């Protein structure tokens, strides 16, 4: 099998973003995933979100690990560099890449296997460093690419296609991220583009590590009776807690919010996230309360979705390091070396 | 065997060993003695034998005074400073006949072990310190300095130079300086009054023109390598602490804090990531290099083992990476504070699948500096991981080496990296096409232009960077990688030679064996045995290595590991007939000395007596 280039047909009528680019300019190569795979819907949402934000394609760096989910970085924003790392180690590639150039938008795509098993350590430390990236988990409760073994996010009692029942408790990436101090924590569903697109946009604009756990059913290995990550199951147990709308600095808020139902979070770039609370008691800026609420709902078997927690105050990686504004991969060599005189000075204490 | 007991020949040529307990602050006193002799114009070698422990275990420091300027340890001891009661018996045993032993006589030792052929000197160091100084900690630390004063008297070390050195160390701490000078002088005076000062083995200054140390520095390889990273323009360092590589990153960080921070804003032109493990450290290096920064990681054997999967990715996806392997004794955790050259095969073929990597073999701190710079240039030129194969002996011991020089015209070789204008002028960019026939493709950085975008992957790919499972498309790429490795042979540092007057017999060695080999060649020459010598400085081996191997009939391969890894690499990667290669192996964990090489050569020649004349 070879690489399948998408035919490029320009429709003059297609809507353009502020850069004069159409959605087609944000697509990648043709997906080779199973027809109906949830991951493809996430890809479509990313295309929509990046197009909507009018980010130059080359300003996007796409990073992933290994798995069906990790393949998808090839399927969006073909004008940006992609890096398919080794299984579970994308966060370290991201750490280095972000260290080298703080000016790009980094989109990491991973799977529940990639993140919660082999890559659990790297995931935790990327959160701890608060590197400035959007990290999407396409969570299907199975290892898709290796044909359907349970992943660490499979629920107790969940049944595999071949019949065995999972008896181990799941790792919940959202709870994990909250306890690790993640500064942007969201959950969504691949089938809910309306919720997902603004979340991706908000995550991209967030300064620091933005996690979106996207329930993304595997139609081949995890979409049967007894599976808790099937389309039907997720739809039925879906509870939207806060609806987030990303509003760019220059744009008007077009949605009308009843007073008391909406709060605003101002992002560092001047944009805003408008949060429409579906549950009046919910406070997405309070980590402890978010955790409690989430745990309570989980006990009732409900997936809380939406923007669950946001903290715009904690410094991200480069702020902690106090790195120069100019991306360090662009600093001219002359500024980096102390020269021959400097060497003599340094070496004087070794005489 | 090599030790000549005759007093005259011992001036500026003897070994002093100090046995201590670690955590008692002996390091600064050891450095004081070493540096003073160095400043007197006399070449010295300092070797630290320390435990993998923080406090309470035995530790030794060995100072070789060598007017010939040899770089290796000598393998014998002339004067022992036995400050550790626990190791006293073995320390006494180690002294060469006619030698001396100095001990702390504060406590009565009725059953003190003695030797007829070793002179014992007792000095009540602890008592003198307790009578003079306040505070437990100060007394312990100053005892070492007082001991240095005793040694100064015994060995005729210039007390003024010692005072100057203390002044440099405690420039801003007057009270400390005074206490240190006082302890030094007390030790000196006590020895003068009670011991036969100076001893026949002593230091005679070589001032001015006579100096053998002018234009030289005393520096460890890890500091020199860190300097190389600074001068190469490295901006991202990622690591996970491991002995004996840790001091490399410590040095890099402090150099950056001095030279890479804007004095007004405090903003930094560097990032150091203390990773969660070595997998993440190498991942960060690969991510940063992919994104156009010069990035490196210092580590040791266990770290390389963990990095394997990522190293294979960098090889196949053609991402530059610089890895310093400061080798220590394996296998497994092994002996973390002892030295070996035991990662040669691990590094040469790191990771699964067909992979081969560029290795550089520095012999001393000077080469650590220049090879660190070369490693970044090679990694970017060849778009591949490059290993600098140092070891604990080079990395953590103080070596005398010529003052490092910097060529102001140096600019980093970024290799085939396309600029914005170049990308714009292209019809289409293909990441892995061999346009120049040297096996090296062109690369682009993220963020420059959408036309330059490509997909970096460790899965099978075509020369255009697209995913493939097609046999021909796959092979085209891996065959080109092989061609690239051929190109590497023309770019890496060449071997260096000594002798090479067309003799039949020769030594081949690498890295930190160099000092011992050079000394062994001198010793053998005095016995009428003359050998050629080639020190390989890189893998893959260049044509000069092939030629040397082809033109010598009997070759001793000297290296510091059990399994003859350099010999294996030569057999695998050159056309040499393996029957010509005889191994001389040293893998005790202590740095190699010339005697093991001399003994090895002699033993081999004895068994070959009939062909001896033909060989030599
Ligand atoms: C070191 C290593 N071990 C095992 C594998 C095999 N492997 C490939 S993908 C995968 C699991 C992927 O699961 P997930 O991240 O959930 O992705 P999905 O396919 O479900 O989207 C495994 C185990 C590998 N590629 N590398
Ligand atoms: S196996 Fe599952 S996860 Fe993989 S592509 Fe098919 S549906 Fe998607
Ligand atoms: Mg999965």
Give A283's pLDDT tier (boundaries 50, 70, 90): confident
- Which helix H or strand E contains B345, and what residues bound it? helix B344-348
What's the CA gap between A50 and A200, in Å, rounded?
Answer: 8
Portion of chain A with pLDDT greater than 90, in percent:
70
Instruction: Report CB contact under 8 Å: B468, A122.
Output: no
Q: Give me the CATH code for the B13-213 domain, please.
A: 3.40.920.10
CA of residue B348 to ligand 2 center, whole Å: 38
B219-402 and B496-615 in the same fold: yes
| Contact predicate B570/B581, CB 8 Å | yes
Asked whether the predicted pLDDT for residue A259 surpasses 80, the reply is: no
Contacts of B258 (CB under 8 A, 6+ apart): none
Question: What DSSP line would sit under B63-84, residue for residue?
Answer: EEEETT---SB-S-EEEEEE--
Q: How many other C-beta atoms are found inside a 10 Å radius of the C-beta of residue A251?
A: 11
Between the CA of residue B206 and those of B42, B71, B148, B150, what are the distances in Å?
6, 18, 21, 22
Residues with CB under 6 A from ligand 2: A 33-34, 37, 39, 68, 140, 144-145, 218-221
Contacts of B106 (CB under 8 A, 6+ apart): B124, B125, B126, B127
Contacts 24+ apart (CB under 8 A), B522-529: B522/B68, B523/B2, B523/B594, B523/B598, B524/B598, B524/B601, B529/B601, B529/B602, B529/B605, B529/B616
- Residue B514 in 3-state DSSP? helix
Question: What DSSP line would sit under B532-583, residue for residue?
Answer: EEEEE-EES--HHHHHHHHT-SEEEEEESSSS-HHHHHHHHHS---GGGEEE
Which chain B residues have a beta carbon less than 8 Å from that of A120? none
Predicted confidence (pLDDT) per residue in A109-134, tens digit: 999 999 999 999 999 999 999 999 99
Asked whether the predicted pLDDT for residue A306 surpasses 60, the reply is: yes
Q: Considering every ligand atom, which ligand is closest to the CA of A114?
A: 1
Which chain B residues have a beta carbon less than 8 Å from that of A89? 279-280, 283, 309-310
Q: Give me the CATH code for the A23-321 domain, please.
A: 3.40.50.970
Index of the ligand 1 atom closest to the CA of residue A218: 20
Predicted confidence (pLDDT) per residue in A203-255, tens digit: 999 999 999 999 999 999 988 877 878 878 877 877 777 777 777 665 443 33
Peptide bond into B331 cis (omega under 30): yes
Instruction: Report CB contact under 8 Å: A84, B459.
Output: yes
CA of residue A220 to ligand 2 center, whole Å: 6
CA of residue B78 to ligand 1 center, whole Å: 62
What's the CA gap between B603 and A35, in Å, rounded?
Answer: 73
The burial of B209, by beta-carbon neighbours within 10 Å (0-12 exposed, 13-18 middle, 19 or more buried), is given as exposed
pLDDT along chain B (616 residues), means of 10: 53 96 88 97 95 85 96 95 93 96 86 88 96 91 96 98 96 94 98 96 95 97 98 98 97 98 97 98 98 98 98 98 98 96 98 98 98 98 98 97 97 98 96 98 98 97 97 98 98 94 91 98 95 98 97 97 98 97 97 96 73 42
CA nearest to B224 within chain A:
A347
Point out which residues pair with B509 in neighbouring strands: B535, B558
Give A270's pLDDT tier (boundaries 50, 70, 90): low
A:10-39 residues touching chain B, CB 8 A cutoff = 29
Between the CA of residue A305 and those of A111, A228, A286, A294, B159, what are the distances in Å?
18, 16, 16, 10, 76
Q: Cβ of A6 under 8 Å from any chain B Cβ?
A: no
Q: How many other C-beta atoms are found inside a 10 Å radius of the C-beta of residue A4?
A: 12
Which chain B residues have a beta carbon less than 8 Å from that of A131? none
Instruction: Report CB contact under 8 Å: A324, B262.
Output: yes
Instruction: Report CB contact under 8 Å: A103, B447.
Output: yes
CB pairs under 8 A between A and B: 231
Does the beta carbon of A40 lie inside 6 Å of ligand 1? no
Q: Cβ of A85 under 8 Å from any chain B Cβ?
A: yes
- Which helix H or strand E contains A213, and what residues bound it? strand A209-215
Mean pLDDT of chain A: 89
Index of the ligand 2 atom closest to the CA of residue A222: 2
Contacts of B377 (CB under 8 A, 6+ apart): B232, B412, B413
- The domain ranges of chain B are 13-213, 219-402, 420-475, 496-615
DSSP symbol at B208 = G
Contacts of B74 (CB under 8 A, 6+ apart): B2, B3, B15, B64, B66, B593, B594, B595
- Residue A142 in 3-state DSSP? strand
What's the CA gap between B26 and B145, in Å, rounded?
Answer: 8
Q: Give me the CATH code for the B496-615 domain, please.
A: 3.40.50.920
Q: How far is A132 from chain B (nearest CA, A)?
A: 14
Q: Considering every ligand atom, which ligand is closest to the CA of A220?
A: 2
Give A60's pLDDT tier (boundaries 50, 70, 90): very high
What's the CA gap between B13 and B218, in Å, rounded?
Answer: 18
End-to-end CA distance of chain A: 63
Candidate from A108, A144, A152 with most ligand 1 atoms within 8 A of CB, to mutate: A144
**Interface mutation target, options A61, A93, A118, A133, chain B, most CBs of B under 10 Å:** A93
Instruction: Report CB contact under 8 Å: B464, A56.
Output: no
What's the CA gap between A253 and A268, in Å, rounded?
Answer: 18
Q: Give me the CATH code for the B219-402 domain, please.
A: 3.40.50.970
Q: Which of B231, B280, B295 lies at the smallest CB-CB distance from A122?
A: B280
| Contact predicate B414/B406, CB 8 Å | no
Closest Cα to atom 8 of ligand 2: A37
Please identify every residue whose CB atom is under 5 Å from ligand 3, which is an ion. A 111-113, 140
What's the CA gap between B272 and B431, in Å, rounded?
Answer: 30
Between the CA of residue B16 and those of A229, A237, B10, B83, B123, what are the distances in Å?
72, 78, 12, 13, 17
Could you identify the residue written with the tokens 């790195």?
A323
What's the CA gap between B130 and B143, in Å, rounded?
Answer: 9
Index of the ligand 1 atom closest to the CA of residue A117: 15
pTM, two decimal places: 0.95
Q: How many other C-beta atoms are found inside a 10 Å radius of the C-beta of residue A224?
A: 14
Closest Cα to atom 2 of ligand 2: A218
Question: What DSSP line would sit under B224-251, residue for residue?
Answer: HHHHHHHHHT--EEEE---TTTHHHHHH
Which chain A residues have a beta carbon less than 8 Å from that of B230? 336-338
Where do the DSSP E strands lie in B275-402?
295-299, 321-327, 358-360, 385-391, 398-402
Task: With a threshold of 0.90, tell me whether the complex ipTM lies above it.
Answer: yes
Give A264's pLDDT tier (boundaries 50, 70, 90): low
pLDDT at A9: 64
pLDDT at B612: 43
pLDDT at B56: 81
């Amino acid at each position: 099998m070879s690489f399948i280039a998408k035919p490029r047909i320009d429709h003059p009528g297609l809507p353009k973003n502020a850069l004069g680019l159409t959605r087609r300019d944000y697509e990648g190569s043709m997906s080779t995933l199973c027809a109906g795979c949830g991951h493809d819907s996430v890809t479509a949402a990313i295309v929509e979100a990046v197009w909507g934000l009018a980010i130059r394609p080359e300003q996007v760096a796409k990073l992933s690990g290994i798995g069906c989910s990790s393949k998808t970085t090839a399927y969006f924003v073909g004008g940006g560099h992609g890096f398919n790392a080794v299984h579970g180690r994308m966060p370290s590639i991201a750490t280095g890449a972000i260290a080298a150039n703080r000016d790009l938008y980094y989109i990491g795509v991973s799977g529940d296997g990639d993140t919660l098993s082999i890559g659990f350590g790297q995931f935790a430390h990327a959160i701890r460093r608060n590197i400035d990236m959007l990290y999407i988990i396409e969570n299907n409760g199975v290892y898709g690419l290796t044909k359907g073994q349970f992943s660490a996010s499979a629920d107790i009692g969940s049944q595999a296609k071949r019949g065995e029942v999972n008896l181990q408790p799941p790792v919940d990436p959202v709870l994990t991220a909250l306890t690790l101090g993640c500064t942007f924590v969201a959950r969504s569903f691949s089938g809910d583009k309306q919720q997902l697109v603004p979340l991706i946009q908000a995550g991209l604009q967030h300064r620091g590590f933005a996690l979106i756990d996207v329930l993304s059913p595997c139609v081949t290995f995890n979409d049967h009776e007894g599976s808790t990550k099937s389309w039907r199951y997720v739809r039925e147990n879906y509870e939207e807690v806060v609806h987030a709308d990303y509003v760019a600095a220059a744009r008007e808020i077009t949605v009308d919010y009843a007073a008391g139902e909406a709060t605003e979070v101002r992002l560092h770039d001047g944009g805003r996230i408008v949060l429409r609370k579906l549950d009046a008691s919910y406070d997405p800026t309070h980590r402890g309360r978010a955790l409690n609420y989430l745990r309570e709902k989980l006990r009732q078997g409900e997936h809380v979705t939406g923007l669950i927690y946001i903290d715009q105050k904690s410094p991200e990686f480069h702020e902690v390091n106090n790195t120069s504004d100019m991306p360090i991969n662009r600093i001219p060599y002359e500024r980096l070396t102390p020269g021959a005189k400097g060497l003599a000075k340094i070496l004087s204490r070794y005489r | 065997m090599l030790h000549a007991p005759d007093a005259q020949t011992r001036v500026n040529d003897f070994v002093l060993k100090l046995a201590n307990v670690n955590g008692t602050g002996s390091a600064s006193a050891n450095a004081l003695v070493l540096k003073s002799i160095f400043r007197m114009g006399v070449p010295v070698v300092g070797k630290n034998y320390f435990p993998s422990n923080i406090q309470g275990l035995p530790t030794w420091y060995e100072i070789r005074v060598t007017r010939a300027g040899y770089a290796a340890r000598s393998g014998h001891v002339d004067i022992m400073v036995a400050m550790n009661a626990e190791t006293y018996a073995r320390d006494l045993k180690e002294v060469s006949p006619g030698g001396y032993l100095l001990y702390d006589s504060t406590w009565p030792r009725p059953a003190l072990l003695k030797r007829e052929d070793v002179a014992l000197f007792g000095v009540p160091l602890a008592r003198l310190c307790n009578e003079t100084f306040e505070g437990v900690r100060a007394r312990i630390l100053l005892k070492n300095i007082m001991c240095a004063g005793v040694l100064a008297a015994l060995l005729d070390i210039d007390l003024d130079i010692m005072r100057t050195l203390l002044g440099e160390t405690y420039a801003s701490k007057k009270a400390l300086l005074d206490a240190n000078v006082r302890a030094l002088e007390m030790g000196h005076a006590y020895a003068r009054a009670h011991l036969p000062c100076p001893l026949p083995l002593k230091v005679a200054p070589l001032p001015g023109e006579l100096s053998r140390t002018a234009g030289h520095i005393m520096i460890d390889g890890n500091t020199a390598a860190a300097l190389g990273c600074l001068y190469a323009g490295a901006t991202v360092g990622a690591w996970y602490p491991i002995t004996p590589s840790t001091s490399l990153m410590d040095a890099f960080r402090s150099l950056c804090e001095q030279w890479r921070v804007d004095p007004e804003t405090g903003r930094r032109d560097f990032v150091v990531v203390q990773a969660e493990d070595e997998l993440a450290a190498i991942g960060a290096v690969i991510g940063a290099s992919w994104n156009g920064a010069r990035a490196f990681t210092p580590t040791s054997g266990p770290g390389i083992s963990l990095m394997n999967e990522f190293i294979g990715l960098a090889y196949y996806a053609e991402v530059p990476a610089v890895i310093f392997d400061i080798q220590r004794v394996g296998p497994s955790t092994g002996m973390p504070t002892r030295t070996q050259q035991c990662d040669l095969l691990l590094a040469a073929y790191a990771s699964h699948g067909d992979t081969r990597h560029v290795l550089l073999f520095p012999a001393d701190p000077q080469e650590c500096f220049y090879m660190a710079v070369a490693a970044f240039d090679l990694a970017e030129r060849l778009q591949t991981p490059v290993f600098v194969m140092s070891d604990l002996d080079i990395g953590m011991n103080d070596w005398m080496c010529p003052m490092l020089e910097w060529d102001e015209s140096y600019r980093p070789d970024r290799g085939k990296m396309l600029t914005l204008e170049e990308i714009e002028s292209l019809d289409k960019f293909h990441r892995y096409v061999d346009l120049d026939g040297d096996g090296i493709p062109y690369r682009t950085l993220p963020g420059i232009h959408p036309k330059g975008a490509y997909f970096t992957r460790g899965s099978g790919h075509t020369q255009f960077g697209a995913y493939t499972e097609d046999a021909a498309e796959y092979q085209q790429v891996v065959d080109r990688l092989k061609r690239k490795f051929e190109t590497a042979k023309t770019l890496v540092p060449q071997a260096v030679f000594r002798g090479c007057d067309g003799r039949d017999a020769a030594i081949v060695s690498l890295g930190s064996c160099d000092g011992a080999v050079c000394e062994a060649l001198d010793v053998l020459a005095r016995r009428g045995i003359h050998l050629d010598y080639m020190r390989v400085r890189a893998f893959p081996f260049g044509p000069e290595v092939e030629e040397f191997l082809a033109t010598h009939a009997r070759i001793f391969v000297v290296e510091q590991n059990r399994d003859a890894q350099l010999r294996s690499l030569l057999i695998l990667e050159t056309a040499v007939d393996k029957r010509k290669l005889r191994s001389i192996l040293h893998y005790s964990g202590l740095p190699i000395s010339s005697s093991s090489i001399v003994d090895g050569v002699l033993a081999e020649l004895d068994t070959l007596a009939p062909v001896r004349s033909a060989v030599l």
